[in-house]
Structures are given as structure tokens and as C-alpha cells.
A and B are shown apart, each in its own frame.
Chain A
Amino acid sequence: MPLFAARDPGGSPPDYRFSLANERTFLAWLRTGLALIAGGLAAAQFLPRLPVRDLLALGLLLLGAAVAIRSVVHWARCERAMWRGEPLPPSRFPTLLALAVAAFALLLAAVVGFEAVW
């Protein structure tokens, strides 16, 4: 019984290099989550004290946590697909994350610009 599965996935173990590639992808997603969390922690302590600062920090922290959760879910689903010889599950998450990061960046730019002009 592989570690990622609560039930027997069926099929057989894939070439270990595919599992390693899946693991690297998981780690890349985890680093993305860590970067968002780092951004939230930085916003909380380095931005000027504006009402939107805490909102921005909380949003980044929660987004980072969501990315971390999603990273392990996606890793398990891909591993299961590889065991069964099925195509990897498609996902809209990268698109959604890119849009969310762009939105936060614009909000951050507005905060910094407002502070500079005010």
C-alpha cells in the first residue's frame, strides 16, 4: 500500500523517475506557497501602517496555505494516476493562482504608490 493512498489504487508502481518528477513538482508548489507566506509576513512587518496592510498580509498568508494544501492533493492525485496508467488530472489552479498573484501585486503597488504620494 503506497503512502499517498488511503485505499489500494490498483495498477502497479510507475518508473521511479516519474515519481521523482512528481515529487519535484510538489516541492515546487510548496515553495510557491512558502513564497506567498513570506510575502504575507513581509507585508505585515515592512509595509507602512495602513488599514489595507493587514488585509493584504492575511490574504497572502491564506493564499499560501491554500497553495500548500493543494500541492499535496495534486501530488497524491498524480501519483494515483501514474499507478493506474491514467492521464494526469487537468487543473485550472495555476491560472487561478496567477490571477490572484497579479491582483495582490496590483493592490500592493497601489498601497506603495499611495504612501509615496500622500
Chain B
Amino acid sequence: MTSGEPDGLSRERTRLAWRRTALGGTAVALLAARLALTGSRGAVAVAVLTLVAVGWLALVATAFRRVRGMRAGRPPVARAVGLAALTVGFAGLGTALVVLA
């Protein structure tokens, strides 16, 4: 991190990092949805798909807000704990599906 670095590059790299994370989360959501649809049925499938959709929306919404927040002024600190919890949630869902299927 050099002091001569133009001001916008850090923000741009951070925005890209959020977009890549949202992409990764989307891939996980699709895999989890497929596992839920092929490995379970009925109420279980609906419940799992709902949780996957909620988790995915939360991740994408946070990334979108954070990317927008970079545009002007000093960016606020991100809520890292919520996102880590979301990722753990995806893992938990997958574990439940593996055990149930």
C-alpha cells in the first residue's frame, strides 16, 4: 500500500472483491438448490430452497449496498460477522442435505 497510490484503486479492488464474492455465493446457492431438488422432496425441499434463497439475497444485497457505498466519501466498515454467518449457514444446509439424502 504505497502513499502515492491514486485514491480510487483501493475502492475499485474492493468493489471487485465484493462482486467476486457474490458470484461465488451464487454458485453455492445453485449447487445447494440442485442438491435440495434432487436429494429431497416436499416440505423439506421447499424449506431448504427458501433458506438458500434468503441467504443468497442477503449476500447479494450486502454486496450491492457495499459497492454503492464506495462511490462517495469514506466507506463505512462492513458487517463481516453477518456474511460469515451466511456462509456457515450454506454449509449447514449442505450438511443437512447430505445427511438426509
Q: Does A58 contact B (CB under 8 A)?
A: yes
Q: Is the CB of A30 within 8 A of B13?
A: no
CB contact between B80 and one of A35, A41, A61, A75 (< 8 Å): that residue = A75
A33 to B27, CA, bound (A): 13
Q: Does A114 contact B (CB under 8 A)?
A: no
Q: Is the CB of A62 within 8 A of B74?
A: no
A57 to B31, CA, bound (A): 13
Q: Does B10 contact A (CB under 8 A)?
A: yes
A34 to B23, CA, bound (A): 10
B-contacting 9-mer, from A65-73, A89-97, A103-111? A65-73
Q: Is the CB of A65 within 8 A of B87?
A: yes
CB contact between A65 and one of B10, B92, B99 (< 8 Å): that residue = B92
Q: Is the CB of B17 within 8 A of A61?
A: no
CB contact between A44 and one of B11, B80, B94 (< 8 Å): that residue = B94
CB contact between B84 and one of A3, A28, A69, A79 (< 8 Å): that residue = A69
Which B residues are closer than 8 A to A by beta carbons? 1, 5, 10-11, 13-14, 17-18, 20-21, 24-25, 27-28, 31-32, 34-35, 38-39, 74-75, 77-81, 83-84, 87-88, 90-92, 94-95, 97-99, 101
Q: Which 6 residue pairs of A and B lie closest in terms of their CB atoms, listed nearest first?
A: A68-B87, A65-B91, A72-B84, A41-B31, A34-B24, A27-B17
